[in-house]
Amino acid sequence: MHAVEQVFREHRTRMLAALVRVLGGDMELAEDSLQDACTQALRSWTVVPDDPMAWLLTVARNKAIDRIRRARRSLSVEEVPVPAFFSSDDALLRAGDDRLSLIFTCCHPALSLEARVALTLQAVAGLTAFQIARAFLVPESTMAQRLVRAKRKIRDARITFTVPSDHQLPSRLSSVLAVVYLAYTQSYVASDRSLAAEAIRLGKLIASLMPDEPEALGLVALMVLQESRSSARRTPSGDLVLLEDQDRSLWDQAAITEGTSLLDLALSRRSPGPYQLQAAIAAVHSQAKSFSDTDWDQIVALYTELAVRTPSPVISLNLAVAVAMTSGPAEGLRLMDTITGLDKFHLMHSARADLLRRLDRFDEARTAYARALELATEDADRRFLRYRLNSLP
Amino acid sequence: MRYMLLIYGCHREELPDAYNEVNKYVKELMARGVFLGADPLHLPDTATTVQVRSDEVLITDGPYAETHEALGGYFMVDCADLDAAIELASLCPLAKLGTVEIRPVLEAQFG
């Protein structure tokens, strides 16, 4: 690997973040000039400079000045000011770690959720527009446009490149964590394990930059534990395998160990939150030798706590499924039938169908599976539901 | 940096004490040193549209946009960044009824 590529891979996010800061929040300009600097390094590095990162940053800054001057000459209106920060020559080299500012800027609530995810994957994780487009199942041109629009909004509406102040931090951090988790869950929709790896890497970066936030650690634990089951979740032909039917010998024990110890570390801070609770649920499943062997009382307790903190019909559904394991399918069904707002959610109907099947109410189970089948859009889900429907007596 | 806060989606009549509420808000903006200007607009049924096509001036009564979709007025503020503008917009009494759209001003030098 060429030395430039090595430095770029290792320090790209850091260099980009430092440049965005000195360029007053202009992400496009920062990316372009970092690219320029790398191109020049590829041509001119016969020996690697003592501080390659400082070399690249200095050249990138000069390239940015060139670009601003060129843009000024081509405009009749003086729309592009040469920013004052260039006067302090060593501001860039005193750069600390600006990656957190970059992350919070990419996840600013004034950007749409889809723009936040795309921008974070590009600017922080270093994915290309093509890779992000493939993961979100949209044309590359649509994704490229989305990214450009978001960067221009940051520049033109002046979203300040900074870590939010203390009173805003909790809500802004949850926006950041939601972006990372959305990227992770999208990896299942797109069957893209490399996206999952990027999301986990992102989560780890955030957790290491914010060591006082156990929810960041909790999110990493959750993703690592879910990922430990990824080879058991699908058959080789891509069919979905439910937790209860998974071959547990395919679970990645090293990942389970890692996820569990990350969760323990998070819980030791004694400030539990939704991600830590979900990770704890995943950890209980990971420790069970079989589905029936699972500590369902613990699962019920965790879902009950989660439903108190972040009430949602999907959490109530999960709670009802767990209650069906501790108190029987009739009690689970009773709880499930009190949930509103999930009529259009195929998993609600398939979960209901499953309880009806266990209660030997096969006609009702058939109707519920058929309804789930109508609502499911993913091929793997539909194959699974059809199989279940056909297995009824 | 200048931002225009555009007020949409509320009848002035829906805010019982509109004048005093808005006046209090303007005083707050002044006290913070961010206030540049503000004006309420007459209802959209007073609107007139002008277009010039092939050197001909076309004048139309209207458009009679639904009051709830029409621009009702604006505030112009000068503050540090979008986060500051969002905070100012969230203090606006009209944000409780309608919608405040924050638009950054494109600084251009004319003349």
Q: Provide ipTM, 2 decimals.
A: 0.84
Q: Which residue has the tokens 């959750």?
A: A222
Determine the average pLDDT of the residues in A101-113: 95
- CB-CB under 8 Å, A157 with B83: no
- Which helix (H) or strand (E) segment holds residue B89: the answer is helix B82-91
- CB-CB under 8 Å, B81 with A160: yes
Neighbours of A209 (CB within 10 A): 14
Domains of chain A as residue ranges with CATH: 3-93 (1.10.1740), 98-210 (no CATH), 215-288 (no CATH)
Give the pLDDT score at A75. 61
To the nearest whole number, what is the mean pLDDT of chain A? 90
- CB-CB under 8 Å, B80 with A77: no
- CB-CB under 8 Å, B109 with A160: no
Could you give the angle at the alpha carbon of B77 between the alpha carbons of B8 and B18, nearest 5°?
45
From A94-108, A245-259, A277-291, B19-33, the region with the lowest mean pLDDT: A94-108
Which tokens go with B28?
């707050």
Residues of A in contact with B81 (CB under 8 A): 158-160
Looking at the complex, does the CB of residue B104 fall below 8 Å from at least one CB of chain A? yes
Position A242 pLDDT exceeds 90: no
Position A32 pLDDT exceeds 80: yes
Give the pLDDT score at A240. 80
Looking at the complex, does the CB of residue A156 fall below 8 Å from at least one CB of chain B? yes
Which tokens go with A270?
């004694």
DSSP assignment of B9-66 equals: S--GGGSTTHHHHHHHHHHHHHHTT-EEEEEE---GGG-EEEEEETTEEEEEE-----
Give the pLDDT score at A89. 47
Considering only CA atoms, which of A142, A151, A101 is closest in space to residue A122? A151
The pLDDT > 70 percentage for chain A reads 94
Residue to test with chain B: of A158, A160, A169, A175, most B Cβ within 10 A: A158
From residue A386, give the alpha-carbon distance in Å to each of A26, A248, A367, A382, A383: 51, 24, 12, 6, 5
- CB-CB under 8 Å, B82 with A157: yes
The secondary structure of residue B97, as a DSSP letter, is T
Which tokens go with A252?
């990645």
CA dihedral A279, A284, A287, A288 (to 10 degrees): -140
How far is Cα A269 from Cα A276, in angstroms, rounded to an integer? 11
Residue count (chain B) = 111
Q: Which residue has the tokens 């606006």?
A: B92
Position A303 pLDDT exceeds 70: yes
Determine the average pLDDT of the residues in A117-139: 94
Position A77 pLDDT exceeds 70: no
CA dihedral A232, A235, A240, A241 (to 10 degrees): -50
Give the pLDDT score at A239. 79
Determine the average pLDDT of the residues in A297-309: 96
Looking at the complex, does the CB of residue B82 fall below 8 Å from at least one CB of chain A? yes
Residues with Cβ within 8 Å of A137's Cβ and at least 6 positions away in sequence, in order, are A189, A190
Give the pLDDT score at A87. 39
What long-range pairs does A366-369 form, CB within 8 A, spacing at least 24? Answer: A366/A392
Residues of B in contact with A77 (CB under 8 A): 108-109
Is the bond preceding residue A109 a cis peptide, omega within 30 degrees?
no
Determine the average pLDDT of the residues in A349-355: 95
Position A219 pLDDT exceeds 60: yes
Give the pLDDT score at B45. 82
User: A292 vs B88, which has greater pLDDT?
Assistant: B88
Nearest CA of chain B to the CA of A308: how many Å? 28
- pLDDT tens over chain B, length 111 residues: 999 999 998 877 777 888 899 999 999 999 999 999 999 998 888 889 999 999 999 998 888 766 667 899 999 999 999 999 999 999 999 998 899 999 999 988 887
Region of A124 (left: φ > 0; alpha: ψ -120 to 50; beta: rest) is alpha
pLDDT-based confidence at A92, cuts 50/70/90? low
Phi, psi of B53 (to 5 degrees): -130, 125
Give the pLDDT score at A96. 60
| Interface size between A and B, measured as CB pairs under 8 A | 27
How far is Cα A67 from Cα A32, in angstroms, rounded to an integer? 9
- CB-CB under 8 Å, B86 with A157: no
CA dihedral A164, A170, A171, A176 (to 10 degrees): 70
Give the pLDDT score at A354. 94
Give the pLDDT score at A84. 46
Determine the average pLDDT of the residues in A285-297: 94
How far is Cα B29 from Cα B37, in angstroms, rounded to an integer? 10
Looking at the complex, does the CB of residue B69 fall below 8 Å from at least one CB of chain A? no
- CB-CB under 8 Å, A156 with B82: no
Determine the average pLDDT of the residues in A91-118: 85
Give the pLDDT score at A86. 45
Give the pLDDT score at B68. 65
Give the pLDDT score at B29. 98
Phi, psi of A230 (to 5 degrees): -65, -35
3-class SS string, chain A: CCHHHHHHHHHHHHHHHHHHHHCCCCHHHHHHHHHHHHHHHHHHCCCCCCCHHHHHHHHHHHHHHHHHHHHHHCCCCCCCCCCHHHHCCCCCCCCCCCHHHHHHHHCCCCCCHHHHHHHHHHHHCCCCHHHHHHHCCCCHHHHHHHHHHHHHHHHHCCCCCCCCCCCCHHHHHHHHHHHHHHHHHHHHHCCCHHHHHHHHHHHHHHHHHCCCCHHHHHHHHHHHHHHCCHHHHECCCCCECCHHHCCHHHCCHHHHHHHHHHHHHHHCCCCCCHHHHHHHHHHHHHHCCCCCCCCHHHHHHHHHHHHHHCCCHHHHHHHHHHHHHHHCHHHHHHHHCCCCCCCCCHHHHHHHHHHHHHCCCHHHHHHHHHHHHHHCCCHHHHHHHHHHHHHCC
Could you give the angle at the alpha carbon of A72 between the alpha carbons of A68 and A76, nearest 5°?
160
Position A76 pLDDT exceeds 80: no
- CB-CB under 8 Å, B109 with A77: yes
Which tokens go with B72?
């009702």
Residue to test with chain A: of B82, B86, B87, B110, most A Cβ within 10 A: B82
